[in-house]
Chain A
Amino acid sequence: MIYDVRHLTTVRYAGLVRLARFNLRLKPAPWPGQILHDYRLSVDPRPTSVQDETGPFIVNRSRLTIRAPISRLSVESRFRVEVTAAPLPDPDTAPTIDQVRHRALTRNDLSASGPATYLYASPIAAPSSEIAGWALPFFTPERNVIAAGRALMEALHAEFRYDGNATQIDTPPVEAFHHRRGVCQDFAHIMIIAARAHGIPAAYVSGYLRTLPPPGQEKLVGADATHAWVNLWCGDEHGWIGFDPTNAMIAGTDHIFTAMGRDYSDVAPLDGVFHGGAGQEMEVSVDVEPVG
């Protein structure tokens, strides 16, 4: 599939922001099966400085400084992307939970795509014995990891209600877990906590979904904004496989990868230090259009 993606963020401040120093993590990082064309980032007002870098996870970061006083900030990220999906491996050939757990601990790989990086608690995905207990039935040692991941994803989809008003951006995942409600970000964090509790490396993926469904199919949930799902590490051979608990599907050609980190905080589309400003209002619009 080829998509044209346009992601527009507009922030209005109640007071003047005299100095803004912030990070944007909007440009898709390289990912297997994905080819990026014509990336364009426009920021208004024009920043004093922009520096682009990659890492430290699978993420591109632009660091911006705006020194003039501003009351409004708008950021537009546009690109064309080609997505092909590798055929899903035969679940029966996938390693067991026990094997993955063992291999994640022994693999000599400290890189941003290695499993060790995604094995432990991270700033938002703090361990929770409740979530661990809830996920216990899915992670029996002899079960194959893809089947376990799918079962966990489906359970999340079945037991939790998608509700944009139930949580805020900084609601701890365990709270969303208690209410059995939330948005893609909450579901992804809960699934990450559950998998890590059983020793399976799990990563947070930010990205996009195609906005309009193919004819005759239902529109996917989370398509009007940035989306989030989970990568589980399924052993040396299969590597990372994307599980989308919001839509109960394996990530394929409907999913456009932007970045992968331990949780939301590693890949937040926008964060930084804004001096002044007081209150703010933000609008986000995302348009993902298939072009072929």
Chain B
Amino acid sequence: MRVSPALQPANRLRDYPADGDAGDLFRGATPSVAAKWSAMADGLFALSEDAGLPAQDLIARQILDLGMSFRLTGDTEERPWPLTPMPLLIGAAEWAGIERGLIQRACLLEELAADIYGPQRMIAEGHLPAAVVAGSRYFARRMVGLEPRGNHYLHVYAVDLARGPGGQWRVLNDRLRLANGIGYALENRLAMARGTISLLSGINTRRLAHFFSDLREGIARDCQRENPRIALLTPGRFNQSYPEQAHLARYLGLPLVEGRDLTVSDDRLYVRTIAGPKRVDAVWRWIDTNALDPLAFDAHSAIGVPDLFDAWACGGLEMANWPGVEVLEAPAFAAFLPRLCRALLGEEPLLPNVATWWCGQPAEAGSVRARLNDLVVTPAFGQPVEALPGTKPVAAASLTPEERDALLTAMERRPMDYCGQEIVHLSTTPALLDDRFVPRAFTLRAFVARDRNGDWTVMPGGFARLSASAELSTTLMGEGDLSADVCVVDDAPRSQLAVTALGGVPAIRRGGGILASHAADNLYWFGRYCERAEMTTRIVRSILGSSIEVDAAAGYNPDIYARLVRLLHLWGAISEETAGLDASHACQAALAEAHLPGGVTCLLDRMRDVGLTLRDRFASDFWRVATRPMPPLPSSKPGIALRAARELVERFSALAGLIAEDVVRGPVWRFLDMGRRIERALLLCRIARQLGAAQDEAGAMGVLLDLCDSQITYRARYLAAPLRDPVLDLLLLDPDNPRSLAFQIRAINNHIDALPRLGEGQMPEQPEREARALLAPLLSLTIAEIDDALLQDMETRLLSLSEAITTRFFLQYEKSASGDRSHLLA
């Protein structure tokens, strides 16, 4: 046990170069909180010394393990998340003040949303100009007069806070549309907790878990049914915060759905699953109101659900948050909130927002003009305006004289598009950069949600953004480049009741919950791509001479080479021209091929692409292996391609192992495995046909055993060299060989038997009938009766089975690719 770190000579924060007057979080902390800062700082260094790694690397490793990543707009690849190891520590007393202020603000925004979409008393009484509401593109006129069933317009609310040099907190932005960052706050904490072992609990850090169960139960309480199904509605994997959404869905156990998974029928919302449509009671939306329903809002929206409006308007669907509430995010509202707080709540605001003047009022416009150089100017509704470069605030003092004139003229014509705001100076926090503590300005994103009683609760912590440079110390720093965990610390440990003890013990469940049709589709294809890539790689490995026969490579007959290369060409691993090149070039091309459907690089890309939509279903270990990039192929030397092929085969084995050992035997596993089995069966038929016709029987059968990983079994069973009948019996008919055709077909039959049926009757469905018909010959024939025609027939039937599976499980919805979704105009 360590003695009180504050007394230790190695106090790492002692020489921390922050100016006390600038309002540093550590320098301004009470003695007991300051001791925790020191304990944390020393603890990080102790951990780093023990591990022989910088603290930054300890955390970075956790981030990698958790699969935390993000994308900036325009990025094609996700980036690792930039978390600094030193958290912000906020004492219980200071936090209590923030909590009270945030809850008051959440109440105010709730009342205001209810007024704007209800009686509009604030407008009629002159507390809020109609032009402020109308100015936001998020004002959903169609929502006026509709009340949410549970009477809650807001369920979850995120807010950006700034701490001034004097320690006073203010609201910078309200976020009602998307609680962006809520998942990152969770991930930051997971990474910190894993990376720093007991440091966080050692300083009595409050836990976050309760907040998330509260949020869930808060949405559930407003639903019609007792055990509601709450879905997280995502715009899709191309969205910037998709990784965050997938992570949240997984953590909270919510189905992650896209618009195309959903359908509205009789004013109720259903998700299309492999077991038919299942009712959805509530949606936590990560989609703008305008895009939610192409029939009620933006007719061009391809990510929404037609008629979704009816589901919530008729009370059959709870929305978190209620459509249209994001109107309140417009910066212009900040100018009226203090007054609205008095009018709606009869209270003074506890937490001020950044002083804001809306120029749509002549007096305010006049004072903004008069003090222009002390202010920032910002588009009043978060939309680009004529005289400002973007949607971010601009310091008027930084404008050139011409820009300034242009701004003033534009403000004459359309004053309502502009707000003046005070420049907020930020206090700093110790950031651990390059093994030193340096002060960095920060903003904090906090999160508020309704709990099971409908009351507001604040996440005890949050997500801090740190300025990338020491010079930037005002809100003009932008969004910051670094993030840090925010820890609320108590003097004494709080009793940490288990989540289940607070929420009641949930009903015991088994299986993987619902599986959306399109997720099943993706799982199936993930399995197929994976198997196809593996077989291409095995052929490459075989050609390049990696069998247990020491001299196998040297001994291949040219006819066998030609047949293997033809196989590569047959399933689209190489082009016709490449197939004419020598074997080592063909192999290299099969690995590097990025466009043809059988090329390994192409298949890895597709696996990653499809896998992205399955982020909420894959464990991070699995995800990491599945998305590892292609091994480099710097030249076409056979040795390099061979090494890459070996590495890939090992990787595929690791994936197969993870699927076998880590995936619960529910529908997710069944579709993944079924995809693999069908692909393997198909490829096996093709390979057996090609090699079965080779002149050199022993050589061809040896290669076949090698491709199917069955050399050892064969040798244990037979002393003879590989001969056609025993080899084909082992690879086609032997039901106990996990690489045999019979084994694949039997596994497919088992999967189909275990999957749900749609109809009430017990009549077998199409996939079931086809799968049984495939199994019959394999059970009844002897190897002598199996000929090329029969294998060709098997191939055809396998493709037909795949079609049947697609039709039964995946195509329950009208495919409406963007190409054929017409937009009719008269």
Contact = CB atoms under 8 A, between A and B. Distances in A.
25 contacts: A9-B826, A11-B824, A15-B820, A57-B141, A102-B362, A108-B129, A108-B130, A110-B130, A116-B130, A119-B131, A120-B134, A120-B135, A121-B383, A127-B385, A127-B386, A132-B386, A169-B825, A197-B414, A198-B413, A270-B825, A270-B826, A273-B294, A273-B306, A280-B822, A284-B826
Interface stretch (A18-26, A31-39, A146-154, A239-247): A18-26
Q: When A and B form their complex, which 9 residue pairs have the shortest distance between CB atoms, in order from nearest?
A: A56-B141, A275-B814, A116-B134, A110-B130, A116-B130, A269-B826, A271-B299, A116-B131, A169-B825
Contacts of B144: 56
Contact of A105 (B306, B416, B815): B416
Nearest to B133: A110
Interface in B421-478: none
Contacts of B822: 274, 277, 280
Contacts of A108: 123-124, 126, 129-130
Contacts of A196: 414
Contacts of B821: 273-275
A216 interface: no
A123 interface: yes
A117 to B, nearest CB: 5
A282 interface: yes
Given A271-B825, A282-B825, 14 more contacts: A102-B362, A108-B124, A112-B141, A116-B129, A116-B134, A119-B134, A120-B381, A132-B413, A199-B416, A268-B826, A272-B824, A273-B295, A282-B826, A284-B826
A19 B814 contact: yes
A280 B123 CA distance: 46
A226 interface: yes
A272 B299 contact: yes
Given A274-B824, A280-B822, A105 B360 contact: yes
B8 interface: no
Task: Choose among A23, A112, A273, A284 the residue with the greatest number of B CB atoms under 10 Å from its CB.
Answer: A273
Contacts of B204: none
B361 interface: yes
B384 to A, nearest CB: 8
A48 interface: no
A112 B295 CA distance: 19
B823 interface: yes
Contact of A63 (B123, B295, B361, B824): B295
B306 to A, nearest CB: 5
A226 B814 contact: no
A119 B135 contact: yes
A268 B825 CA distance: 7
Contacts of A15: 820
Interface in A141-176: 169-170
Given A105-B416, A280-B822, A272 B295 contact: yes
B517 to A, nearest CB: 16
A105 B129 contact: yes
Report the contact-size class of chain A (Cβ under 8 Å from the partner). 35 or more
B816 A275 contact: yes
Contacts of A92: none
Contacts of A284: 826
A104 B826 contact: no
Interface in B800-826: 814-816, 819-826
Interface of A (DSSP majority class)? mixed
B521 interface: no
Report the contact-size class of chain B (Cβ under 8 Å from the partner). 35 or more
A109 interface: yes
Contacts of A169: 825
Contacts of B413: 132, 139, 197-199
B137 interface: yes
A284 B825 CA distance: 10
A265 interface: yes
Interface string A58-87: 000001000000000000000000000000
Task: Choose among B129, B137, B822, B824 the residue with the greatest number of A CB atoms under 10 Å from its CB.
Answer: B824
A37 B391 CA distance: 49
Contacts of B381: 120
A268 B133 CA distance: 24
A277 B820 contact: yes
Task: Choose among A105, A114, A119 the residue with the greatest number of B CB atoms under 10 Å from its CB.
Answer: A105
B142 interface: yes
Contacts of A63: 295
A139 B824 CA distance: 36
B307 interface: yes
B820 to A, nearest CB: 5
A283 B290 CA distance: 30
Contact of A282 (B294, B814, B819, B824): B824
Given A55-B142, A107-B130, A120-B381, A271 B823 contact: yes
A42 interface: no
A129 interface: yes
A23 B309 CA distance: 14
B180 interface: no
B131 A104 contact: yes
A217 interface: no
Contacts of A55: 141-142
B298 interface: yes
A268 B137 CA distance: 19
Given A116-B134, A274-B824, A277-B822, A23 B120 contact: no
A272 B130 contact: no
Contacts of B294: 272-273
A102 B362 CA distance: 8
A286 to B, nearest CB: 10
Contacts of A198: 413-414
Contact of A18 (B123, B415, B814, B823): B814
